[in-house]
Amino acid sequence: MTWSDLTVIAPFAAVVVVAALVILADIVKPGNRHLALGVVLAGLAIVGLLTLWTGQAPGTAFGGMYKVDNLTTFLDVIFVAIVALSCLFAPDYLEPRGLPIAEFAAILVFALGGAMLVAASADLLVLFLGLELMVIPGYMLAGYHKRDALSTEGAVKYFLLGSFSSAIFLFGLAYVWGLTGSTRIADVAARVGEIVAGQATLSPGLAMGLAFLTTGVAFKMAAVPFHYWTPDAYQGSPTPVTGYLSVGPKVGAFAVVLRVFAEALLPLRQEWLIVIFVLAALTMTLGNLVALTQDNVKRMLAYSSIAHTGYMLVGLAAYAAGVIGGLEGLLFYGVAYTFMNLGAFAVIAALQKRPGVSSRLETFAGLGRREPVLGILMVLFLLSLTGIPPTAGFFAKAYVILAAVQAGGWLTVLAVIAVLNAAAAAFYYLRVIVYMYMRDPTGEPAPVAHGALLRLGLGITAVMTVILGLFPGLLLPSVSSAAQAIGVAIR
Amino acid sequence: MDISSFPILSLIIFLPLAGALVIALIPRRNLAAIRGTALLFALATWVASLWLVLGFLPGRDVVASAAGSFQFVEAVDWIPHFGIQYKVGADGLSVALVVLTTTLSWISILASFSPIRERVKEYMISFLILEVGMLGVFLALDLFLFYIFWEVVLVPMYLIIGIWGGANRIYATIKFVLYTLVGSLLMLVAILATAFTFQAATGSWVGAFDLEKLAGSGFDGTFQLFAFAAFALAFAIKVPMFPFHTWLPDAHVEAPTAGSVILAGVLLKLGAYGFIRFAIPLFPHGAHVFAPLLIALSVIAIIYGAIVALVQPDLKKLIAYSSVSHMGFVTLGIFIFQAQGLQGAILQMVNHGLITGALFLLVGVIYERTHDRTLAKMGGLGAITPVYSAAFGFFVFASVGLPGLAGFVGEFLVFQGAFAFNPWLGVAITFVMIFAAAYLLWMVQRMCFGPVSEFLAGLGHHLTDMRPVEILTLAPLGALTVVLGLYPGLVLDLIAGPVKAVLAAVDPAVAMSIGR
């Protein structure tokens, strides 16, 4: 290990230190949430700065197993933002229910470490390590409200299916390793390229590897038909956890996809293009159709998050067809989705501050009158999720659709499927607005005071949702350079 | 002050937004201040738009480009990565519709003072944002910017119908949004495809969303068919053309009065404007191919709207179907690609906005007093409320197309165009005019003449005649109806340039040669 190794892994090392410090703080002063939150937020700020600092000088560490490029930095910043926002939103929900905050924060930070490891992996083994480190805390968080039967049920489902999918993914990696003789992403790509170049059809081994990898990763990102764990896990988990689960592991899964499919298996892109095409179409359509019938907002957002996976896959499909804009669109979508979806879940969490308040649609009845600010913010997030301009969600959709149109051919059909889905999705997003503004509240619950952290977090998500919608140009240079890091001009 | 050195168009677009922001700061209990501020900003926007007309007139005859001849163009890079600009500009068509919008907006806000008593703050903010969207659509010269304003219109209208509407408002408003959204999202795909096609041809994103650069750049024939179809679907839903009109009667019936006024007066014009400004100049070949279909649908709309209007029991529904019929004249006038037809279509857009806007205001007046719109319950209003009946009669005659009032000239020009295009078509739609006269005059008869109905008599002294404020909202529309009826040249002069530009774009020699 050299000094340069240390500077390259500095952000990751810092994450581990922060996680340890949070646990330590909770041991020294048990149950002191101010201390725990202070340590986490300060630590995350340092991690964020370190990430940006390391990102200035891309490089590799540990003999090329760990690398920092523009994509790593870009994804890391999203991950840090996701965890920081989740920590801002959590106290208001967890505290009245007597759920410990320090554990929540520490587990999240560990998950952050896993996600960052995935983003920085130049080796498939490191990638798998990161993947597991990222998802195992997720299982814990899902079942973290252990006296709640729904939470436990969701966690068990999530754990079982998650473990299966990890195993399947690993099995796929074994095939790839067996055929290429290497776990280094760059070597794998080169070797696969040589294998493919000489053959008209795909060798059975590679086909098996590709199939297993796709299945494993489709589970993680909750693509149809591998999505069954999502609604139960999302509905059962405490709301701030759901918010995190709907964003963190999903963006993380896309990081896996980028490293494995868009980088290591790039020579096979013609093959996985078809798979991604079908997955994208199915995921969008089924996610939206089922979301239409939900009357629980958390469950509705769970299905809608499945649909959003589909939109992001459209970008990936466009990239597979040779349009680098697809990759850019996918990354932009990830950022937009992070802020708008976390924001929407934060509003639900805020409404559920008083224990016992459900996340059913009736909870939202008359919200516009009871809590005008929360109402307006929820409208903003829902419009963004729908894709109505001028919000971040609109530009994100336009970006992936533009990429699909650029790719032409069948991908134009995918673009049309995507917009028809967006129109259908408007129905269930708008229904929440109907309840908030067009129905009278059932009973008149006493207003609750919202914590300063929650308000800060809501402010950040709302401002980002608007700014990325009005001035997407601000993010485009970073998106481009992140995409350039792995997407050589493949057309 | 010299108007050309001043970003007058941005001022017009964003003045209502400034008003909305100011209202957001006013405490919700202070109703007078909220209403006053809304009216003040709407009036200021109106004044600015009149100033725009004065500044526009001297340069209106500048030679047209493929897209038209625009003045006061402001262009700022917005998302340079894709060549997307904040680009606005005005030609005669835009100016005419901008003035229509600003006029109807302040009138609608004034007319909302009394009927809207709940959540006044949210209402006024929605209304002003709605105005921003409408003005933006009429002034945007960048396709991306246009699309954004197009969608911005949707949300406030959704709220206005859904929150302040009638009993079945939620169904109506969701139907309105979903219909519009399906069309507009497909248009988004077409916009992006157009931009990319341009980028692929020139190798650069610069100007890829710029209407002036795109128009007349000669897209491939097959591409034009698909792109035009996507644009046309979005606009046909908005107009609405038969068979996409079913959202309109629901939306009108449930919307509050001012919502109906804006819906009929301006929102329907967005679709027709989209055809003239974007769909036709961008894809003239596609327009030519689809013109027979669109003409057929227009004729069906004219006849069908009139027949269905004849049997409507509800006042608002009747006027809504009459709108379907009248907007059929607009689309017919557009797609016969013929000078009189196009002039007539544009004139009809303005006239329909004024007259139908006024009719919906009048329905609102009677509804506020009776809380009913059923025609069967009305009768004998002439004896109780003479001023109201006179106003009602006046605007109905204007709508029928009485010579001397605005409705006549537009329809007459469309007839002329239709006769020149195909005499049989001209004869056919002239006969429809009899239906129009029938349903409208029969409506007046059932409303105003005969003995006073039991229902109205039962209301006793609650049924008062028009208040001064209500007269004030109708007076400008009445005056404009007379002025434009006697001197249609006011509008025809403004739109001469745009008409020439559109006809040049669809000149068969140019349009049909593409893609061959």
Which tens digits make up the pLDDT trace of B389-416? 889 889 998 988 888 888 888 888 998 8
Distance CA A349, CA A92 (A): 8
Measured between beta carbons, the chain A residues lying within 8 angstroms of B151 are 388-389, 394
ipTM of the predicted assembly exceeds 0.85: yes
Checking if the pLDDT of B14 tops 60, the result is: yes
Q: Which amino acid appears at position A229 of this protein? A: W
Distance CA B166, CA A438 (A): 11
Interface of A with B in 464-483 (CB under 8 A): 471-473, 476, 480
Contacts of A236 (CB under 8 A, 6+ apart): A142, A148, A150, A151, A152, A153, A154, A155
Distance CA B270, CA B45 (A): 19
Across chain A, mean pLDDT equals 88
For residue B84, give the DSSP letter: E
Checking if the pLDDT of B145 tops 80, the result is: yes
Q: Taking every pair of C-alpha atoms in chain B, what is the biggest distance, in angstroms?
A: 74
The mean pLDDT of A1-29, rounded to a whole number, is 87
Check residue B3 and give its pLDDT. Answer: 66
Helix (H, G, I), strand (E, B) or coil at A59: strand
Measured between beta carbons, the chain B residues lying within 8 angstroms of A480 are 81
- Residues B266-315 have pLDDT tens digits of 999 999 999 999 999 899 888 989 999 999 999 999 989 988 988 888 88
The mean pLDDT of B69-77, rounded to a whole number, is 85
Distance CA A233, CA B479 (A): 65
State which H helix or E strand residue A185 sits in: helix A185-197
Across chain B, mean pLDDT equals 87
Is cis: bond before B243, omega within 30 of 0?
yes
CB contact under 8 A, A438 and B169: yes
Does A292 contact chain B (CB < 8 Å)?
no
Q: Min CA distance, B186 vs chain A (Å)? A: 7
CB contact under 8 A, B182 and A420: yes
Measured between beta carbons, the chain B residues lying within 8 angstroms of A433 are 158-159, 162
State which H helix or E strand residue B75 sits in: strand B71-79
Residue found by looking up tokens 């301009």 in the block: A389
Contacts of A380 (CB under 8 A, 6+ apart): A343, A391, A462, A465, A466
CB contact under 8 A, B82 and A402: yes
Does B461 contact chain A (CB < 8 Å)?
no
The four Cα atoms B28, B33, B36, B41 give a dihedral, to 10 degrees, of: -80
Chain centre distance of CA B397: 20
Checking if the pLDDT of A380 tops 60, the result is: yes
Does A437 contact chain B (CB < 8 Å)?
yes
CB contact under 8 A, B196 and A406: yes
Does B182 contact chain A (CB < 8 Å)?
yes
Checking if the pLDDT of B427 tops 50, the result is: yes
CB contact under 8 A, A405 and B177: no
Measured between beta carbons, the chain A residues lying within 8 angstroms of B189 are 401, 405, 412, 415-416, 419
Give the pLDDT band of residue A488 (cuts 50, 70, 90): low
Question: Measuring CA to CA, which residue among A178, A299, A168 is closest to residue A246?
Answer: A299
Distance CA B16, CA B45 (A): 7
Identify any residues that bridge with A68 across adjacent strands, giving them in sequence order. Answer: A59
Check residue A230 and give its pLDDT. Answer: 86
Give the pLDDT band of residue B61 (cuts 50, 70, 90): low
Distance CA A377, CA A383 (A): 10
Q: Answer yes or no: are the C-beta atoms of A429 and B158 closer than 8 Å.
A: no
Measured between beta carbons, the chain A residues lying within 8 angstroms of B154 are 388
Check residue A489 and give its pLDDT. Answer: 46
Q: Answer yes or no: are the C-beta atoms of B279 and B235 closer than 8 Å.
A: yes
Question: Measuring CA to CA, which residue among B287, B291, B493, B485 is closest to residue B405?
Answer: B485
Check residue A444 and give its pLDDT. Answer: 62
Does A438 contact chain B (CB < 8 Å)?
yes
Least confident of A327-331, A364-368, B35-39, B149-153: A364-368
Checking if the pLDDT of B66 tops 80, the result is: no
State which H helix or E strand residue A480 sits in: helix A476-486
Give the pLDDT band of residue A440 (cuts 50, 70, 90): confident
Give the pLDDT band of residue B29 (cuts 50, 70, 90): confident
The mean pLDDT of A227-245, rounded to a whole number, is 87
Check residue A200 and give its pLDDT. Answer: 67
Check residue B30 and give its pLDDT. Answer: 87
Give the pLDDT band of residue B4 (cuts 50, 70, 90): low
Interface of A with B in 74-103 (CB under 8 A): none
Q: Answer yes or no: are the C-beta atoms of A66 and A480 closer than 8 Å.
A: no
Q: Show the CA angle centred on residue B282, arms to residues B280 and B283, nearest 5°.
A: 65
Extended beta strands in A52-203, E state: 59-61, 66-68
Nearest-CB residue to B193 (from A405, A430, A433) = A405
Distance CA B362, CA B368 (A): 10
- Residues A274-313 have pLDDT tens digits of 889 999 999 999 999 988 888 888 889 988 999 999 999 9
Question: Measuring CA to CA, which residue among B20, B156, A205 is closest to residue A192?
Answer: A205
Q: Min CA distance, B272 vs chain A (Å)? A: 22
> What is the residue extent of each domain of chain A?
3-486
Q: Min CA distance, A324 vs chain B (Å)? A: 14
Check residue A491 and give its pLDDT. Answer: 41
Checking if the pLDDT of B513 tops 70, the result is: no
CB atoms within 10 A of CB B420: 15
**Which of B78, B85, B168, B196 to probe the A interface (max A CBs under 10 A)?**
B196
Identify any residues that bridge with B123 across adjacent strands, giving them in sequence order. Answer: none
Checking if the pLDDT of B41 tops 90, the result is: yes
Does A484 contact chain B (CB < 8 Å)?
no
CB contact under 8 A, A398 and B181: no
> What is the residue extent of each domain of chain B?
3-511
CB pairs under 8 A between A and B: 81
Checking if the pLDDT of A18 tops 90, the result is: yes
- Residues B373-387 have pLDDT tens digits of 888 888 888 888 888
**B49 φψ region: left (φ > 0), alpha (ψ -120 to 50), beta (else):** alpha
Residue found by looking up tokens 């038969």 in the block: B242
Check residue A446 and give its pLDDT. Answer: 66
Measured between beta carbons, the chain B residues lying within 8 angstroms of A430 are 158, 174, 177
pTM over 0.90: yes
Measured between beta carbons, the chain A residues lying within 8 angstroms of B79 are 471-473, 476
Q: Min CA distance, A398 vs chain B (Å)? A: 8
CB contact under 8 A, B152 and A389: yes
Checking if the pLDDT of B514 tops 60, the result is: no
Among the residues of B57-168, which ranges form H helices?
Answer: 92-112, 120-139, 143-164
Q: Min CA distance, A426 vs chain B (Å)? A: 7
